[in-house]
Amino acid sequence: VTRPSRNGGRAVLLALSLAACGPYGELAQKLDVTARIAGDTWIAAGPNRATDTRVLLVGRPDPNGVAPFAFTCVADDCPTPVPVKNVPPPIGAATLQGTWSEVGSGGDATLRVAYTYATPADTGAQAGGSQRNDTPYALHLTVVRTGNRLVVSGDPQLSGTYVALSDALAGLGTATARDAACAYQVASLSIQGSETRIIGFGGGGMVQYRQPATYVGTIAGSVTVSMSGLTPPIEMRIRYDGFEDEGGVRLDGTQVTTTGWDGKGSMSSVVRFTIAPPSLDPATVTTPITGGIDYSGITLNGTASGSYHVTIDGGGTGDVSAVGAPSPSVAECLNLP
Amino acid sequence: VIAPFVLALALGAAEPVTLPLDPAAAASVASPAEVDPALAGSAAPEPALATSVAPTLPPSPPAAGPSLGGWRHAFAVGAQVNWLLSNEDSQYQFRSASFGYHGSIGARGAFLDLSYLVPLQARQDGATYSTADYYRTRAGLDLLVGFNLRWALPRNLEVEAGPGVHGTFIYLPGREGFREFTASPLGLGASGTCSWRTGKRWLSRAVTLGGSLAAAWDFSDPAHAGDLAHGWTLRLALTVGLGGRT
């Protein structure tokens, strides 16, 4: 069992061992239940600004005032409102999906959660990996809009001062190694959000992807998971095709993880990112930030080591360590309140 | 289910048991002179040919039956239920058709029950699913190996029973877009069979019909992170087999 740091976790989560299949799964469970959302993405720092990030996507309301929403927490521990089987705390990432409705002008909002996802911070072949609880429930929040901010209170997991992601992304630079690291941290949020929805991710249940499966992006695109080889080298491929879980951050390319039965191995290939903040005002549209995350510097030996090599096209390059807390943090990169 | 009935009908249509046709066996049949010395000399000795002697013999009395020793083989068709309780308090139940082989050796000896399972229906926490709707392949294996004893009962019945170690493997790879499910509980169990010699024979062995019952308590599933709190297996089957040599 591995308790990776958040940075390294994404690599370690992919390590598998065919010697174990993880805990029993849910019967007759559909893998992908995500409904597409066209709306606004908001982002906030959690209580621990160095590691906690919250992303809220709220769609356009229907005539009844009901809008689809998706919420993702990435942190050292993201406790979910309801327990998710086979995901013991600490929870490294969690996602809620459902509908959002506001009554009156006082900011009273009711979230009807249809799906609760969780990824354990502890991973490995004996772990269950990412799981989903399909039990519906409701959360009540108070939402106050102040300028370009959304102040959410009423639930400790979702509370925070959110800013529009498009505004936050507009402050990203492209020239320095720090800019490259920030681009990685922003892209990594989308990658981690996608991994939370991949059933079995980070656990022995990944062996089910001998038959590939595709999950849609919440906003656009898709991610396809496939595994080949029952004898070493075992190759796990996670391919992003125009994948967009957060407005303005798109992923393309494939993460390749090659391991033996003991889970030891390496990663390879490149995932490209396009950071293009959407804007209704053409005058404020900025040039997209494009680049790639090269995984070939990551080795898996019980835990991840090495670094992600990040390149911004026509700009800075940098290496982000797979070990330790994100540096710089997402809150620092995006100047989150 | 149909297969054993078809086989039973075929066996019913088979030739009844006749005396041995080989000369060596026929030579061992007592001649009339040996049976009654008064008959000696009243007739020239006839060649001891089974073909000429057999029709003159009275119907054989009910056979004393084969010994309890030797091999027993049987094919079984039946139903199996596996219950699993996970450490997360999920209750699973799998109802399967089973097609199996039962073999044993000796009046006191080893036995093996090996069944191929076709899970037809599955339940989790009160919800029931037709496996065909969610899984592209439905397969499983059940193995019970142990030591059993044999007893002969009246009316050509023979009973075997004994304890053993047990394992089941259930394999349900999902249809496109659905999640896979596997389970491999291990435990201890027992098997019992009751077979009736039909009076027919095949390959010099008595043909038997019968039934079998196997039960097991499963308490370990190391391939699934020890998620099994405990489980039960129950299988009931009809058997068609070969008993002892006659």
**Is B90 in Cβ contact with A85 (below 8 Å)?**
yes
CA-to-CA dists, residue A230 to A227, A233, B159, angstroms: 9, 8, 44
Q: Is the Cβ–Cβ distance between B80 and B215 less than 8 Å?
A: no
Please list, in sequence order, all residues whose beta carbon lies within 8 angstroms of the beta carbon of residue A307, skipping any fewer than 6 positions away.
Answer: A297, A298, A319, A320, A321, A322
Average pLDDT over residues B100-107: 94
Angle at A18 between CA A12 and CA A24, to 5 degrees: 90
* B90 contacts chain A (CB < 8 A): yes
Q: Determine the average pLDDT of the residues in B105-130.
A: 96
Residue B239: name the closest of B70, B2, B16, B78 by CA: B78
Structure tokens at A203: 């656990």
Confidence of residue A326 (pLDDT cuts 50, 70, 90): confident
Q: How far is it, in rounded angstroms, from Cα A274 to Cα A288?
A: 6
Range scoring the smallest mean pLDDT among B50-54, B56-60, B234-238: B50-54
Position A42 pLDDT exceeds 70? yes
Pick the residue of A27, A33, A132 with the most B CBs within 10 A to test the interface with B by mutation.
Answer: A27
Helix boundaries (H) for B28-182:
32-35, 50-53, 131-134
Residue B126 at interface with chain A, using a CB cutoff of 8 Å = no
Out of B88, B129, B173, closest to residue A23 by CB: B88
User: Structure pTM?
Assistant: 0.82
Q: What is the pLDDT of residues A182-193, one digit of tens each?
A: 999 999 999 999
**Residue B1 burial by Cβ neighbours in a 10 Å radius (0-12, 13-18, 19+):** exposed
Closest residue in B to A124 (Cα) is B225
Within 8 A of B223 by CB-CB distance, chain A residues are 19-21
Which band of pLDDT confidence, cut at 50, 70 and 90, is reported for residue B93?
Answer: very high
Residue among A18, A24, A215, A226 with most chain B CBs within 10 A, to mutate: A24
**A18, pLDDT greater than 50:** no
Interface test with A, best of B179, B184, B220 (most A CBs within 10 A): B179
Q: Which chain B residue has the Cα nearest residue A1? A: B225
Asked if B177's CB is within 8 angstroms of A30's CB, the reply is: yes
The pLDDT value recorded for residue B7 is 43
Interface size between A and B, measured as CB pairs under 8 A = 84
Bin A314: left if φ > 0, else alpha if -120 < ψ < 50, else beta. left
pLDDT of residue B97: 98
Q: Which chain A residues touch B171 with a CB distance below 8 Å?
A: none
CB-CB neighbors (< 8 A) of A207 in chain B: 180
Is the CB of A202 inside 8 Å of chain B's CB atoms? no
Residues counted in chain B: 246
Interchain CB contact of A88 with B (< 8 Å): no
Of A53-57, A94-98, A286-290, the one with minimum mean pLDDT is A286-290
Q: Which residues of B49-72 are buried (b: 16+ CB within 10 A; e: fewer)?
A: ebeebeeeeeeeeeeeebebebeb
Does the distance separating the beta carbons of B224 and A21 come in below 8 Å? yes
How confident is the model over A95-114, as pLDDT tens digits? 999 999 988 778 899 999 99
**Taking CA atoms, what residue in A is nearest to B178?**
A30
Contact list, A19 vs chain B (CB under 8 Å)? 223
Angle at A334 between CA A333 and CA A335, to 5 degrees: 100
Spatial neighbors of A335 by CB under 8 A, at least 6 apart, are: A168, A171
Q: Report yes or no: A281 and A166 within 8 Å, Cβ to Cβ.
A: no
Sheet strands (E) in chain A? 39-45, 53-59, 66-74, 91-103, 108-120, 131-133, 137-146, 149-153, 160-164, 213-216, 220-228, 234-246, 249-259, 265-268, 270-275, 289-294, 298-300, 304-312, 317-321
**pLDDT of amino acid A323:** 84
Task: Report which residue type is found at A94.
Answer: A
C-alpha–C-alpha distance, residues A129 and A85, integer Å: 10
**Between β-strands A131-133 and A91-103, what pairing exists: parallel, antiparallel or unpaired?**
unpaired
Interface predicted TM-score of the whole assembly (ipTM), two decimals: 0.87
Beta strands in A90-134 (DSSP E): 91-103, 108-120, 131-133
- The yes-or-no verdict on residue A63 having pLDDT over 50 is yes
Q: CA A20, A25, A30 angle in degrees (round to 5)?
A: 130
Q: Which of A150, A170, A154, A153 is closest to A162 using CA atoms?
A: A150
**pLDDT at site B64:** 53
Cβ atoms B74, B240 nearer than 8 A: yes
Query: Does residue A211 belong to the interface with chain B, where contact is any CB pair within 8 Å?
Result: yes
Most confident of A9-18, A72-81, A211-220: A211-220
Residue A131 tokens, joined? 């799981």
In sequence order, the β-bridge partners of residue B196 are B157, B209
How far the first Cα of chain A sits from its last, in Å, is: 35
Q: Which residue of chain A is at minimal alpha-carbon distance from B129?
A: A28
Tokens standing for A229? 């080889």
pLDDT tens, position by position, A217-238: 999 999 999 999 878 888 999 9
Q: Are A322 and A310 in contact (CB under 8 A)?
A: no
Alpha carbon of A167 to those of A172, A208, B8: distances in Å?
Answer: 10, 40, 80
The reply to whether residue A29 touches residue B178, judged by beta carbons under 8 angstroms, is yes
* Nearest-neighbour CA in chain A from B171: distance (Å): 11
pLDDT of residue A284: 54
B88–A21 CB contact, under 8 Å: no
- CB distance B178–A32 less than 8 Å? no
Question: What is the least distance, in Å, from the CA of B79 to any CA of chain A?
Answer: 21
Residue A279, amino acid: S
CB-based contact B174 A208, cutoff 8 Å: yes
Q: Is a pLDDT exceeding 90 seen at residue B94? A: yes
Per-residue confidence (pLDDT) for residue B214, from 0 to 100: 97
Q: How far apart are CA A204 and CA A23, in angstroms?
A: 8
Tell whether the model's pLDDT for residue B226 goes beyond 50.
yes
Residue A222 near chain B (CB below 8 Å): no
Which residue is associated with the tokens 């010395």?
B37
Question: Do the Cβ atoms of B124 and A26 come within 8 Å?
Answer: yes
How far is Cα B157 from Cα B152, in angstroms, rounded to an integer?
A: 6
Closest residue of chain B to A21, computed from CA coordinates: B224
Cα distances from B163 to residues A198, B82, B102, B189, B191, in angstroms, run: 43, 18, 14, 6, 6
**Which helix H or strand E contains A9, and what residues bound it?**
helix A6-12
pLDDT in tens, A134-162: 999 999 999 998 888 999 999 999 999 99
Beta strands in B46-90 (DSSP E): 71-86
Average pLDDT, integer, range A109-120: 95
What 3-state DSSP class applies to A162? strand
